[in-house]
Structure 1
Amino acid sequence: MKQDRKWVYYLGLALVAAVWGANFGVSRKGMETFDPVLFSFLRFSLAVPFFFLILKLKEGKVGISLKMVPRFMIIGLVGLTALEIIVMYSIKYTTLANSSLLNVAPWPIFAALFGPFFLRERITSRLVAGGIAAMIGVCFIILGGSEGFDLSSDNMLGNLLAFAVSIIGSLFNLACMPLMKQCSPLYLSTWYTTFGVVFMFPFTIPSWGKVDWSALGGSEYSAVLFNVFLCTVIGFIVWNEGMLRIGATRANFFRYLVPAFAVAAGYLFFDESFSGWQLAGGIFMVAGLIWISLERGEPAAVNV
């Protein structure tokens, strides 16, 4: 790859991070019309045909062997059905700043901390120090919110759900790594997304009748299309191409643009504030990840 072409991939990663960050606001707007689970189901179910089309065009085959079905079913149930439902409710029940930081920032840190249990790598003092810094950052974000530490508040519920996303998501990524040796990230994501939406569908049944479909307008359709094409289909392709071209470690640092754009969406659409304590928390989490990443590479992401 020519050196002067690298800026294209860096720009692509930055744009995807901006889209994913803005999606925290778009998703909350969408949930004013759709229940969280239904909104998530629409996003991924509508994206599945496009994933299969791209898989067919890129790799020439889309079939799956019967012996692989149980594994894909399990990771689809955990990595998409359960994880995405938790993501949507975390966005609904806390601020965009909290949900974006707690969803996105600790994820790679937990992957680094849990990695030795999956990859037989030893836990070093650098990993411990980086993890402690990250956890301090998480505490600052929760305590620095407008409601502080209040277990009875909706914000605290959303904070806890968002924090759970990072733990479950990192474990899910690590569990997928053996499969990455047998198939491409595109193939893996196509099939676990397919099984994930199948398992998610029963949870959407009570929600379909709550939507006045005839009254849907441009804003509702725009929110769905934004999620399907920009966040899921295009975002996945551009992000993985960037990882391929510049490396997973460098690419993952672009995840930290996501909270910044989510906070911007909070300012623009919901008049949310961002305290100095939360800013300090974000800095602690970034510093923790940088400290960890200086020693070892991060697990490659297999979802968006």
Structure 2
Amino acid sequence: MKQEKKWVFYIGLAMVAAFWGMNFGVSRKGMETFDPVLFSFLRFAIAIPFFFLILKLKEGRIGLPLNMVPRFMLLGFFGVTVLEIMVLYSIKYTTLANASLLNVAPWPIFAALFGPFFLRERITSRLVTGGIASMVGVCFIILGGGAGLDMSSDNMLGNLLAFVVSIMGSLYNLACMPLMKRFSPLYVSTWYTAFGVLFMFPFTLPSWGKVDWLALGNNEYTAVLFNVFVCTVIGFIVWNASMLRIGATRANFFRYLVPAFAAGAGYLFFDEAFSGWQLAGTVCMAAGLVWISLERPEPTPVSA
């Protein structure tokens, strides 16, 4: 891949990370009205018709081979239903700082460790040094906020859930990669999301009657639509396409941008403080990601 073209996909990863970071604030507003699981279900359920419409217009087919149904069902169940519910309950049972740190920071590390078992991705010295710098930076961003890190026994369940999310999430990303070499990223995103919504629906049944649907206002509609179109439809397609081009290991380090944008959104829209430690962490993380992005592919040896 040409170096100048590769930058398009790095920019795509950064853009999606910005959307997901800002979504912390948007979702906070939305979940003042909706139960967290119902809010997550609405996000994916409303997005599904648009996924299929885009898939039909772009590729001309939407059918799923019968022999691939079990594989996509597993991806949807673990990657959407289980993972999203675990994220929500990790936030519920621990502090936001703990959930962010234990969810975001280990994720790329596990992706790098498990990557050779799924893919032919080599761990280079540049990737290691850039990854360490990015991880240190994201720790400064999260721990530099007012909440800090609280490892008391009251938070152990949430801490454990957040840490398991990072393991499951990395394995889920890696499991998608072979499928995206056989099918398109759009095709894979559409079908695993569809199955994830199907499995998530039963968990929402107690929540529908708790919402005053006639009283919904601009804030609730904005939160839902931002989640549907920006964070899910655009986010999933761009992230998976970019991850396919530059590799799962490098792409997952760009998740470290999510807490930085979340802190920035809190500062801009919720009057939350942005400390010097968080600024230093942002600079350190950005330097690590740029260092990873500048790595040139090794030249292919020419046979005699």
Taking structure 2 as the reference length, the TM-score comes to 0.76
Q: How does 1:124-273 map to 2 (within 5 A)?
A: 146=146, 148-152=148-152, 159-239=159-239, 254-273=254-273
Corresponding letter in the other structure for 2:262: A
Cα distance in structure 1, aligned partners of 2:151 and 2:229: 37
Corresponding letter in the other structure for 2:42: L
Question: How far apart are 1:296 and its partner, in Å?
Answer: 10
Contact 1:112 1:292 (8 Å CA) reproduced: no
> 1:60-93: CA deviations, max 9, x gaps?
1000121111111111000000111222344556
Name the residue aligned to 2:85.
85
Contact 1:20 1:258 (8 Å CA) reproduced: yes
Name the residue aligned to 1:302.
none
Higher mean displacement: 89-98 or 215-224: 89-98
CA 1:32 to 1:196, structure 2 compared with 1: closer, same or farther past 3 Å? same
Contact 1:126 1:291 (8 Å CA) reproduced: yes
Contact 1:150 1:156 (8 Å CA) reproduced: no
Q: CA RMSD in A?
A: 4.2
Cα distance in structure 1, aligned partners of 2:7 and 2:117: 36
Contact 2:141 2:278 (8 Å CA) reproduced: yes
The count of corresponding residues between Structure 1 and Structure 2 is 297
Structure 2 residues without counterparts, runs of 5 or longer: 298-304
Higher mean displacement: 254-263 or 24-33: 254-263
Cα distance in structure 1, aligned partners of 2:19 and 2:84: 17
CA 1:176 to 1:247, structure 2 compared with 1: closer, same or farther past 3 Å? closer
Name the residue aligned to 2:20.
20
Structure 1 residues without counterparts, runs of 5 or longer: 298-304
CA 1:200 to 1:182, structure 2 compared with 1: closer, same or farther past 3 Å? same
Cα distance in structure 1, aligned partners of 2:20 and 2:276: 23
Contact 1:55 1:62 (8 Å CA) reproduced: yes
Cα distance in structure 2, aligned partners of 1:38 and 1:91: 15
Higher mean displacement: 273-282 or 70-79: 273-282
SS of 1:209 mapped into structure 2:
helix
Identity of aligned residues (%): 81
Cα distance in structure 2, aligned partners of 1:134 and 1:242: 19
Contact 2:256 2:285 (8 Å CA) reproduced: no
SS of 2:205 mapped into structure 1:
helix
Contact 2:144 2:278 (8 Å CA) reproduced: yes
Q: How does 1:21-170 map to 2 (within 5 A)?
A: 21-91=21-91, 99-100=99-100, 102-119=102-119, 146=146, 148-152=148-152, 159-170=159-170
Taking structure 1 as the reference length, the TM-score comes to 0.76
Cα distance in structure 2, aligned partners of 1:271 and 1:115: 40
CA 1:132 to 1:18, structure 2 compared with 1: closer, same or farther past 3 Å? closer
Cα distance in structure 2, aligned partners of 1:233 and 1:81: 17
Contact 1:28 1:92 (8 Å CA) reproduced: no
Corresponding letter in the other structure for 1:111: A
Question: How far apart are 1:226 and its partner, in Å?
Answer: 0.6
